Structure 1
Amino acid sequence: MDKFYQRVPKRPFDSSSSSNSINEVISDEQDPPSDPAQRKPILDYNPNERDRIRRYYLIEGHGPCQPHNHVFPQRNFSGAMRRFNPSWFGLHKVWLEYSIEKDAAFCLCCYLFRPENLGSGGGTNFVGEGFRNWKKATKSFEEHVGDSLSWHNQARKKCLDLMNQAQSIRAVVNKQTVRQERDYRMQLGAIVDCVKFLCRQGLAFRGHDESESSFNEGNFRELLRFLGDHNEEIDKVIFDKAPQNLKLIAPEIQKDIVNACAEETTKDIIAELGDELFSVLIDEARDASTKEQMAVVIRFVNKSGSVVERFLGIVHVSDTTALCLKAALENLFGKHGLSLSRLRGQGYDGASNMSGEFNGLKALIMNENESAYYVHCFAHQLQLTLVAVANNHAQVGLFFQMVARLLNVTGGSCKRRDQLRDEARINVVEAISSEEIVTGSGLNQESSLARAGDTRWSSHFNTLNSLVVLFSPTFRVIEQIEMDGSTWQQRSEARGLRREIQNFEFVFVLLLMRDTLIITHNLSQTLQCKSQDMVNAIRLVNIAKQRLQHMRDSGWELLLKKVCAFCEKHSIKVPSMEEEYFDNPRYQTGTTNLHYYRVDLFNTVIDMQLKELNDRFNETNTQLLICMSCLDPRNSFSAFDIEKLVQLAQFYPSDFNQFELPILNSQLENYILDVQDDRVFLEVSTILELSEKMVKTNRHNAHPLVYKLVKLGLILPVATASVERAFSAMNIVKTSMRSRMGDQWMNDCLITFIEKDLFKRVSNERIMERFQNMKARRGILI
């Protein structure tokens, strides 16, 4: 064999080339870039993929890249400053595109169908490098379009032919009858109904075995079969009664329909946003397959004056550096026609790659848009306040360590959890029989010890509150483990815990931390409301500080009374406050119990809480928020200050130019006289209520610049709770049993699941039309 064929030496394995090829495959499966400057030539795609790419750009909702709200930069043309005019989009809606990256205009139709060797009809400016001569834009656009036989119009006609399935070769050859068209519409409509139901519930589609003889076909097939069993017309057009090559039950079809649902829902979100300014909330988390995901939520004021937070999407980021996060955010914004120049706020959880002063995502965005002010999530700061106190106070830190051990011992097995539930049930029955607690609907439900976590807001309060309620059942379970533990380690650990929780100091710290945390817990729950505004959030933080200070000044006697009553109820010895405190029986401390518990614990813990709150919520000292507080409508607009509100407008130079500032001053004078004389505004207490009242009474048109200030105050983010809710939804949609979900598949399911209120209003007709336009289908939807 070697005589006729020469052996080719084996080449060494090149990991870089292998990784590059893998990356190319992965990138081909992802959505093509929206910015025209980032696209590769259409002829560089595989011939079998070109129609898919063309349909992606032509389908309604994607279409030409036309960022209407972008702040277009100016350039010097022969001594005159000129820029791209967004009104050109309206004149050339079908084909004109704009690249934010290159500040240049492109033609979508010529990009999709222009021959490679074409050099006439406007040159290659609208396809290759882009057109940037804004001085001659109008004339150049007309020359590019040309007459009916121009290359541009020929490319435009090919775009129309591609999207017109009724005139395709396949449709002409396989001409459907009227009945077949009706059956196909009914079949597709039934399948869309099933997909919409599963998306809204966050349920899995596929089953373990989808064969016809299987008893576990999966939710999609089971639901479709159930629908057919209860509707004779539908039963005639699904499964075996449908054409063999048009059953529409394959996983690819399901994914296409879900993608159509998600795209239509996102389209409604962008339509709801309109031309409004907005802020962005971002966080990162790992999914069930240990992939880093970045969730993006936008916050804006809708047409009725209400604050809205909408989930825009989730993006897989292989690298969590600030540059990669910014690139992923820009790509997502470009896909939906949004621009970073319209940002007026950023909300993160304080991670260094997000909020870094020099190289964080916050800094990178503010380098391009100085009005995109950053706000550290308020609810996260409250959690950090508790963690700081627990780490810096010795007794509090030891207390939380002991609580963690207690939870591990009592919840270490199913048997112990059942014992705790049984003891709690006995405790409730005894309390009801002695009339200590009342009965009623929803009362005295089964409960267990909640586990705290530093990354779960307000979880420490839930832990301490459950421990107070279940103290006796927990103590009895510890005693039982001490007697019946399977190993001597379990028995000795239970014995040590029993002695510790029977200590007066443990009970004192337990009730002290519960009473202080209930203040910040209520604040945290309030701050996580989507409609919360920054001015009201600052006011709530100040109220929490006042409550803590009041507790320090006059709450000692009440707390001591609670602790003594708790100890008496559970047979715990109460030491005399006048006696000397002994931390260790072998050493004398020289202080009394009163001094230790009141000064070293009570006063010190509250002082540390107050100090941390003052340090972490330093936004109250910034001039921006001081000016914004003048919008507060409480007490008949007593905080209103024209000078500071004009100064607030100067923080947003892109929204208030030098000609509008004098007009704003006059509008503010008219506005305050108008609203103070109207009884409708007397009961308004928040900026949100003020915004809604202004829209309802048409004051937003009478005082447009003032209303713009109100909206800027509302869109500044307070907490990233909506992003956290998105991650909770991600854990429902993508579980360990469904860990192989692709990124696009998961993103589509999340959008329809999280924004189900908008998704419910999306009609089946819109979904079916988008589904048909995605690719050439065997069935024609007329």
Structure 2
Amino acid sequence: MGQKGGRDAFVSQGFDTWNKKDAFRTHVGGVDSFHSKSREKCEFLMREKQAINVVLRRQTEADDHKYKVRLRVSIIVARLLLKTVLLSIREEIDQDVFALLVDESSDVSKKEQMDIVLRYVNSLGFVKERFIGVVHVKDTSSLTLKNAINEVLTSNKLSFSQIRGQCYDGANNMSGEFDGLKALILQENDMAFYVHCFAHQLQLVVVAVAKKHDGVSDFFEQILLVVNVVCASYMIDLEGQLEIFYHSCIKDDRFTSLKGISNLSRLMVSTGKHRYYPLVYKLLKLSLILPVVTASVERCFSKMKLLKINLCNNIGDEFLNDALLCNVETEALVKVENEKVMERIQKMSARRGQI
């Protein structure tokens, strides 16, 4: 052990040996003296950027930044997935017709939310009911609801002119004859036939058709009940097509065991008859898209109540819409191809290389 110089001269006893040359040398001492260690600590203090706590904090900040970048990218990818889901729904409908199912309810934070579901027949003849969004509305007046619906449809490149059916509850703001949502949409499109969600007559017709084994014959007996919704100029052509189609079906074994008009729709597409009898198929689609109940919308509200609970009542409107879309449209979400998402990411901004 070397001599440990230094003492508490500067703090208690004072330093009075200035005239002795070796006094400072003795005070400084060796490498492990009190003076040397104090000087080392002073230098460390002056070089704060190299201090271990500063270095660790800097690394933590860098990791935090990287985490935020990864989180931001994950959110972007998730929203691109949702946009791809909506795009797939929009492409399925394209310029075809659909029915509108709407209902509104308050969430756990007492905010009025409106769920929108579209009912349509896809290119394969299958009836689909797709949730396209939940919208926070400041009030439940019919005009406010109409404007919100128009905004959602426009954002998905759809329009009121494509609506052939609308289904709501019996509240006056929804089904009022003069100033309800039904009336406002009918002013935009007089072909948007309104069906109360408790319209059991249409439901009984569908059930009756579904129970018949000789579904084709019964189908045409029931379908004549809704022929009056077709433009009069098509009546003669439609009647002619119906008769020809009927006789072609009774001679085709594939049409002898139908269980309902939805099966007839799919079978017409798979056999190509929807191209030969377009008016019959159009009438069939109109019958299929007319909604009977708003069960799909109610299921969306049930999902919303599971997502937005008391512990998570500060969820924003956009996040709620995205989360609800993921939970409701799981079938469409699974079908999203990774390549399509990567292609959309690639188009977002210029990149050094292709993904």
TM-score by length of 2: 0.74
| Structure 2 residue 296 is matched with structure 1 residue 722 | yes
For the 8 Å contact 2:215–2:260, the answer to whether it is kept is no
Superposition deviation, residue 686 in structure 1? 1.3
Q: Deviation per CA, 1:125-164: give whole Å up to 9, x if none.
A: xxxxxxxxxxxxxxxxxxxxxxxxxxxxxxxxxxxxxxxx
SS in 1 for 2:322: helix
Q: 1:292 to 1:273 in 2, by over 3 A?
A: same
For 2:113 and 2:294, the matched residues in 1 are separated by 15
Q: Map 1:202-221 onto structure 2 (within 5 A).
A: none
Residues 85-104 of structure 1: pairs in structure 2 closer than 5 A? none
User: Which residue of 217, 220, 230 maps to 1:640?
Assistant: 220
Matched, 1:260 2:80: yes
Aligned to 2:42: none
- The answer for the alignment partner of 1:296 in structure 2 is 116
CA contact (8 A) 1:255 1:745 kept: no
Q: What's the counterpart of residue 743 of structure 1?
A: 317
Q: By how many angstroms is 1:713 displaced? A: 0.3
Distance 1:780 1:743, change over 3 A: farther
Task: Provide closer, same or farther for how the CA distance between residues 247 and 772 of structure 1 changes in structure 2, counting only shifts above 3 A.
Answer: farther
1:700 partnered with 2:271: no
Q: Match for 2:170: what amino acid? A: G
The answer as to whether partners of 1:355 and 1:363 remain within 8 angstroms in 2 is yes
1:733 aligned onto 2:313: no
Counterparts of 1:244 and 1:738, CA distance in 2: 24
Matched-pair contact (CA < 8 Å) for 1:278–1:345: yes
Query: Which ranges of 4 or more aligned residues in structure 1 deviate by more than 6 Å?
Result: none
- Which residue is 2:239 aligned to? 665
- Give the CA deviation at 1:263: 0.7
Whether 2:183 is the aligned partner of 1:363: answer yes
Aligned to 2:4: none
Whose Rg is larger?
2
Q: Please tell me whether the aligned partners of residues 634 and 686 of structure 1 are also in contact (alpha carbons under 8 angstroms).
A: no
Of 200, 204, 210, the residue aligned with 1:537 is 204
Q: Which of residues 747, 758, 766 in structure 1 aligns to 2:332?
A: 758
Tell me the distance in 1 between the aligned counterparts of 2:282 and 2:206. Answer: 22
Write the letter of the residue equivalent to 1:272: E
Q: In the TM superposition, what is the alpha-carbon distance from 1:729 to its structure 2 partner?
A: 1.1
The one of 96, 103, 123 aligned to 1:283? 103
Deviations 1:553-603 (A, max 9, x none): xxxxxxxxxxxxxxxxxxxxxxxxxxxxxxxxxxxxxxxxxxxxxxxxxxx
Matched residue SS, 1:359: coil
User: Is the Cα–Cα contact under 8 Å of residues 169 and 196 in structure 2 kept in the other structure?
Assistant: yes
Q: CA deviation at 1:736?
A: 1.7
- Name the counterpart of 2:162: 342
Shift of 1:780: 6.4
The alpha-carbon deviation at position 305 of structure 1 amounts to 1.0
User: What is the CA–CA distance in structure 2 between the aligned matches of 1:635 and 1:732, rounded to whole Å?
Assistant: 41
- CA–CA distance in 1 between the matches of 2:313 and 2:70? 20
Contact 2:167–2:293 (8 Å) recurs in 1: yes
Aligned residue among 651, 659, 683 for 2:229? 651
Flag the 1:290–1:771 CA change in 2: closer, same or farther, 3 A: farther
Which residue, out of 310, 314, 328, partners 2:134? 314
8 Å Cα contact 1:317/1:324 also seen in 2: yes
- Residue 315 of structure 1 aligns to a residue in which SS? strand
Any conservation in 2 of the 1:371–1:652 contact (CA below 8 Å)?
Answer: no
Aligned twin of 2:17: none
Offset at residue 246 of structure 1 (A): 4.8
Contact map agreement 2:118 2:132 (CA 8 A) in 1: yes
Q: Could you say if the C-alpha distance between residues 638 and 751 of structure 1 is closer, same or farther in structure 2, counting changes exceeding 3 Å? A: closer
Mind listing any 5+ residue stretches in structure 1 that lack a counterpart? 1-238, 383-533, 544-628
For structure 2, the 5+ residue unaligned runs are 1-58
Does the Cα contact within 8 Å between 2:206 and 2:260 map onto a contact in 1?
A: no
What amino acid maps onto 1:718 in structure 2?
V
Aligned to 1:327: 147
Separation in 1, partners of 2:145, 2:219 = 40
Deviations 1:435-494 (A, max 9, x none): xxxxxxxxxxxxxxxxxxxxxxxxxxxxxxxxxxxxxxxxxxxxxxxxxxxxxxxxxxxx
User: Aligned pair in 2 of structure 1 residues 273, 355: CA closer, same or farther (>3 Å)?
Assistant: same
Shift in Å, 1:744: 0.8
| Aligned with residue 686 of structure 1, among 243, 247, 260 | 260
Give me the whole-angstrom Cα distance separating, in 2, the residues matched to 1:347 and 1:702: 31
Contact 2:103–2:168 at 8 Å: present in 1 too?
Answer: yes
**Matched AA of 1:651:** V
CA distance 1:761–1:307, shift in 2 (3 Å): same
- CA deviations over 1:306-328 (Å, ceiling 9, x no partner): 11000010111011100000000
* CA distance in structure 2 between the partners assigned to 1:761 and 1:641 by the alignment: 39
1:63-102 aligned at under 5 Å gives the runs none
Tell me the CA shift for residue 256 of structure 1.
2.6
Partner of 1:503: none
Matched AA of 1:705 = L
In structure 2, relative to structure 1, the CA distance for the partners of 1:357 and 1:284 (3 Å cut) is same
Aligned partners of 2:213 and 2:173: how far apart in 1?
37
Residue type of the alignment partner of 1:373: F
Pairwise CA distance, 1:767: 2.7
Deviation of the 1:247 alpha carbon: 4.4
| 2:171 maps to which of 332, 335, 351 | 351
How is 1:173-572 mapped onto 2 (pairs within 5 angstroms)? Answer: 246-247=66-67, 249=69, 252-378=72-198, 535-538=202-205, 540=207
Residue 679 of structure 1 and its aligned partner are, at CA, apart by: 2.1
Relative distance call for 1:683 and 1:535 in structure 2 (3 A) is: farther
Deviation at 1:697, TM superposition (A): 1.8
Please list the CA deviations of residues 308-364 of structure 1 after superposition, one character each: whole Å capped at 9, or x if unmatched: 000010111011100000000001011011010110101112121111111110011
Going from structure 1 to structure 2, the CA distance change for 1:261 and 1:361 (only over 3 Å counts) comes to: same
Deviation at 1:648, TM superposition (A): 4.0
Residue 724 of structure 1 deviates from its aligned partner by 0.7
TM-score, L = length of structure 1: 0.35
For 1:677, the aligned partner's letter is K
Give 3-state SS (helix, strand or coil) of 2:301's partner: helix
User: What SS does structure 1 have at the residue aligned with 2:220?
Assistant: coil
Deviation for aligned residue 1:763: 2.5
Letter aligned with residue 326 of structure 1: K
In angstroms, what is the RMSD of aligned CA positions? 3.0
State the match for 2:251 in structure 1: 677
CA contact (8 A) 2:203 2:292 kept: no
Distance 1:720 1:636, change over 3 A: closer
Q: CA deviation at 1:674?
A: 0.7
User: Which is richer in strand?
Assistant: 2
Q: Give the Cα separation in 2 of the matches to 1:377 and 1:351.
A: 11
User: Residue type of the partner of 1:322?
Assistant: S
Deviation of 1:254 after TM superposition, in Å, equals: 4.1
